[in-house]
Amino acid sequence: MKLTSSIRQLQDAIGKVAQAIPAKTIDPRFENVHLSIESGSLTLFATDGELSITAKSDVETSDSGNIGVKARTLQDFLRSMYDTAVTFVIERQEISDHGTLHITTDKGKYKIPCQFESKQEKHEKTYDISLELETAEFLDLIQKTIFACSVDGMRPAMMGVLFELEGNTITAVSTDGHRLVRCRKNYNSAIGEKQKIVIPARVLSILQKLAQHEFITMSIDSDRRFVRFIIGNIVLDASLIIEPYPNYDAVIPVEHDKHLIIDRSMIYDSVRRVGRFSSIGDVKMVIEGQLLKVMAENTNEGEAAQEEMPCLYTGDDITIGFNSRFIEAALAHLDDNEIRIELKSPTTAVIFKPHKTEEDDKLIVLVMPVRINN
């Protein structure tokens, strides 16, 4: 078998599908990128058993066949090359499924072991929900929620983002037990009965790297166990997390009697500076009148910091503590210049959201306070 293409074209396609391959695996089936050659085209496929990526590329060939090549080896070679024409010739060993991939460019010749394979059987699923989403809007939805996903394998549902589809609204929710994000967006399609799916954070992280087209098509199978994303000539198939997601509505406070409006960049920069002076990464916030104080100390090293800034505040004075990293992350994912912080007590969850006169519930970030020593 023989095919001709360009280094850059193959580099791009293999770079995309290889993202499905785990960094460490003991199963050799998941080490390979699978090449399916047909007249005029090359289909590349890689999987880790739970997630798979397929890409198609136009090549010059009149042959057909299927081989598997170690993805890292082939990817490392292509990365080291400049863009030029490249020819692949696949030679099979006698009475064996093993073979050699001969690579020829204008500068040299290279050999990589390969394995001949039978054509992969496709187990087609029935997708009864399909949505065409604007890529920029969907990536924004991912970016605003994925950071709050849990990394605790004991709570698998929280290792993904919950997507709720109802009418023409899509709601994305993530939480790790210490913070929670809820982001809502409208889309052109309309869903009748409310649907809930949990997409693993790893899948969404890979999508962020693959999405280079104006639209993404998201399809959900009829059993609500698999999701498919189509981005141009790339197809990503993944298993959904089937464990039930926690009832997030129950932890979002609805009766906050204290409200603070402040410049986002001002409080963000202050928390970043002051938080570095804390021995355990916590900061204390004191709100008195129209003044916000941010404080931290490291008693072991004799270090301390305090900053003050003006704010618009309604409610009784309050002193409350936070993990500074959680506050930084919350503020970093709010886009507006002015934000609204809603509080109730030093032990009640605090809500951060854009300060808008309309639709100010499209994005909320909830952060649990921490106990502080007075």
Q: What is the pLDDT of residue 358?
A: 53
Distance (Å, rounded) from C-alpha 57 to C-alpha 69?
17
Q: What is the pLDDT of residue 22?
A: 85
The mean per-residue pLDDT over the stretch 179-192 comes to 88
Q: What is the pLDDT of residue 374?
A: 57
Q: Are 38 and 12 in contact (CB under 8 A)?
A: no
The mean per-residue pLDDT over the stretch 37-61 comes to 94
The mean per-residue pLDDT over the stretch 167-186 comes to 94
pLDDT at 342 over 80: yes
Distance (Å, rounded) from C-alpha 79 to C-alpha 70?
14
How many CA atoms lie within 13 Å of 65's alpha carbon, on the beta-carbon side? 20
pLDDT at 373 over 80: no
Q: What is the pLDDT of residue 337?
A: 93
Q: What is the pLDDT of residue 253?
A: 86
Q: What is the pLDDT of residue 122?
A: 67
What are the tens digits of pLDDT across the range 105-144? 998 999 999 999 887 766 778 898 999 999 999 999 999 9
What are the tens digits of pLDDT across the range 294-315? 999 988 888 999 999 999 999 9
The mean per-residue pLDDT over the stretch 270-281 comes to 93
- The number of angstroms, rounded, from the C-alpha of 130 to the middle of its chain's C-alpha atoms is 20
What are the tens digits of pLDDT across the range 150-164? 999 899 999 999 999
pTM: 0.91
Q: What is the pLDDT of residue 192?
A: 79
Backbone angles phi, psi at 368, to 5 degrees: -80, 135
The mean per-residue pLDDT over the stretch 178-185 comes to 95
What are the tens digits of pLDDT across the range 195-231? 999 999 999 999 999 988 889 999 999 999 999 999 9
Q: What is the pLDDT of residue 279?
A: 85
Q: Are 297 and 279 in contact (CB under 8 A)?
A: yes
Q: What is the pLDDT of residue 193?
A: 86
Distance (Å, rounded) from C-alpha 98 to C-alpha 68?
10
- Walk me through the domains of the chain, giving residue ranges and CATH numbers: 2-116 (3.10.150.10), 127-250 (3.10.150.10), 253-367 (3.10.150.10)
Distance (Å, rounded) from C-alpha 30 to C-alpha 290?
59
Q: What is the pLDDT of residue 242?
A: 94
Selected residue with higher pLDDT from 20 and 358 = 20
Task: Name the average pLDDT for the chain.
Answer: 92
Q: What is the pLDDT of residue 175?
A: 97
Strand order in the sheet with 338-343: 160-175, 179-200, 363-367, 350-354, 338-343, 258-263, 312-314
